[in-house]
């Protein structure tokens, strides 16, 4: 009996590839999809190095080498735009990565099932609201003339603050309104990960007299650690990307000094003037940096934790 199991096991390990034919078969469909919609169009990257015109098509447009990149690097606002982008995205990361984790743990600790489910549901709703409406509300709530926030400030004897018209405050307003919209939704992944924790682990810890905080530290957090690591790595891969539509809607001449980011700059300098190649070059540069950052962070993760992307 014992030996037959052994034999089967060793057979399974030995002829791995043949044995894994089903796994490869499973991969077939997703890989086909990847090839058709991601790798076949990949040749489009070359338009960053060409002067693309629809009249000639991608293949027959003339090559220009690194001209678009040079134009971008030499642009007057190049440095400001990069700094602004990094400021907002790093700030978003610093707040946006830990907060959903903390919130998910808090949700998880709620003992009243009904309360928990209501609270969780409410926290997801902002995610569904159009960014146009969000920006409209931000403007109304923060208005120095009659917004609720400034009315409160005045009530307590302060002077009204022009949140949306100040370059200093723009990153805060942008990031926190984003948190308002996405933090609840961000807890979903962690909630799912926590649902996999066997309840008896907590019970055992209780019997041994562990406090709730100790349970969180010793059981909950380690259990969701891989998810935390993966989400963090993935988040760092968008360090150069700051959503375009919301920035553009919140942008005005008064806060432009900090609100002009790569995507809005690209929109104004490239897309509005139909300079497809230029936009593409800026996007390429953008993602190259993103990829390098992700790669490095993943390397780091490989070294210091058990979880990594590959």
Partner 1 sequence: MYQLSRGDKVFNGFNMILVGIFTLVILYPLLFVVFASLSDPRHIFDQVLLLWPRGFTLEGYKRVFANGDIWMGFKNAVIYTALGTAVNVIMTTLAAYPLSRRDFRGRNVITMLFTFTMFFSGGLIPTYIVNEGLGIVNTMWVMIIPGAVSVYNMIIMRTYFQQNIPVELEESAFIDGATDIQLLLKVVLPLSTPIIAVMMMFYGVGRWNGYFDAMIYLSDRNLFPLQLILREILVQNQMGDAANQAMMSVNQSEVSALKQSIKYAVVVVSSVPVLLFYPVVSKYFEKGIMIGAIKG
Partner 2 sequence: MISSKKGKIALLSILLLSLLATACGGKAEESKEPNSSQSGTAQEISLLRPSWNNLRPASKDLWMWQEYEKMTGVKVNWEELSDIGEKKNVILTRGELPDAFYQVDWSNGELLKYGQQGLFIPLEDLIKEHAPNLQKYLDENEEVRKGITNADGHIYATPYLDPYPEGNRTIRLYINKKWLDNLNMDIPKTTEELEQALNAFVTQDPNGNGVNDEQGWYMPSGSLGWTFEQMMMGSFGIGNGGRKALGNFIYVDNNDEIQLTITSDGYKELLKYENRMYESGAINKQAFSGVDYDKWTADAAKDTVGAWNWAAPDYIGESVKDDFVAINVLAGPGGDMASLTDSQVAGASSLVITKDAKDPATILKWVDYFYGEEGSVFGYLGKEGVTYNMEDGNMVYIDEILNYKDGIGLGAFQYVDNVYGGYFPYTELSPEVRAAAGRQEAPVYTDLNEQTLPSVMLPDLPATIQEANETSSIRADVSNYVGQMRVEFVTGTKDIDKEWDSYIAQLKKMGSDRYLEIKQEQYKRYKES
Q: 296 touches which of partner 1, partner 2, none (CB within 5 to 8 A by kind)?
A: none
Exposed / middle / buried, residue 2 (Cβ in 10 Å: 0-12, 13-18, 19+) = exposed
Minimum distance between the CB of residue 83 and partner 1, rounded to whole angstroms?
22
Q: Name the residue nearer to partner 2 (CB basis): 170 or 284.
A: 170
Q: Which of 143, 220, 227, 286 forms a contact with partner 2 (CB under 8 A)?
A: 143
* Ranges within 70-109 binding partner 2 (CB under 8 A): 71, 75-77
Q: 111 touches which of partner 1, partner 2, none (CB within 5 to 8 A by kind)?
A: partner 1
Q: Which residues contact 121 (CB under 8 A, 6 or more apart)?
A: none
Q: Which of 121, 214, 273, 305 forms a contact with partner 2 (CB under 8 A)?
A: 273
Region label for 63, one of left (φ > 0), alpha (ψ between -120 and 50) or beta (otherwise): beta
Q: 94 touches which of partner 1, partner 2, none (CB within 5 to 8 A by kind)?
A: none
Tokens 């926030």, located at residue: 149
Q: Which of 107, 276, 284, 285 forms a contact with partner 2 (CB under 8 A)?
A: 276
Minimum distance between the CB of residue 222 and partner 2, rounded to whole angstroms?
35
SS3 275: coil
C-alpha angle 284/35/45, rounded to 5°?
Answer: 20
C-alpha angle 295/299/303, rounded to 5°?
Answer: 165
Q: 231 touches which of partner 2, partner 1, none (CB within 5 to 8 A by kind)?
A: partner 1
CB 134 within 8 A of CB 247: no
Q: Which of 85, 142, 187, 263 forms a contact with partner 2 (CB under 8 A)?
A: 142
């Amino acid at each position: 009996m014992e030996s037959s199991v052994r034999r089967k096991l060793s057979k399974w390990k030995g002829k791995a590839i043949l044995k894994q034919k089903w796994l490869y078969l499973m991969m077939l469909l997703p890989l086909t999809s990847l090839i058709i919609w991601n790798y076949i169009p990949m040749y489009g990257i070359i338009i960053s190095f060409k002067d693309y015109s629809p009249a000639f098509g991608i293949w027959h447009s003339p090559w220009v080498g690194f001209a678009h990149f040079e134009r971008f690097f030499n642009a007057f606002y190049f440095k400001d735009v990069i700094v602004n982008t990094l400021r907002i995205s790093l700030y978003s990361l610093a707040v946006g990565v830990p907060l959903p984790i903390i919130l998910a743990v808090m949700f998880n600790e709620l003992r009243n099932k009904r309360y928990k489910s209501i609270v969780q549901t409410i926290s997801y709703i902002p995610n569904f609201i159009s960014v146009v409406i969000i920006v409209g509300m931000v403007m109304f709530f923060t208005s120095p003339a009659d917004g609720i926030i400034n009315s409160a400030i005045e009530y307590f004897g302060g002077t009204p603050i022009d949140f949306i018209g100040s370059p200093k405050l723009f990153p805060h307003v942008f990031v926190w309104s984003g948190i308002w919209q996405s933090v609840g939704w961000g807890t979903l992944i962690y909630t799912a990960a926590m649902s996999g924790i066997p309840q008896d682990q907590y019970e055992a810890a209780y019997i041994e007299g562990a406090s709730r905080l100790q349970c969180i530290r010793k059981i909950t957090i380690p259990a969701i650690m891989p998810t935390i690591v993966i989400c963090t790595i993935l988040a760092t891969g968008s360090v150069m990307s700051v959503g375009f539509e919301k920035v553009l809607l919140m942008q005005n001449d008064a806060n432009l000094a900090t609100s002009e980011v790569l995507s809005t700059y690209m929109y104004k300098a490239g897309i509005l003037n139909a300079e497809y190649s230029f936009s593409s070059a800026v996007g390429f540069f953008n993602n190259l940096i993103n990829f390098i950052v992700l790669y490095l962070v993943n390397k780091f993760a490989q070294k210091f934790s058990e979880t990594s992307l590959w």
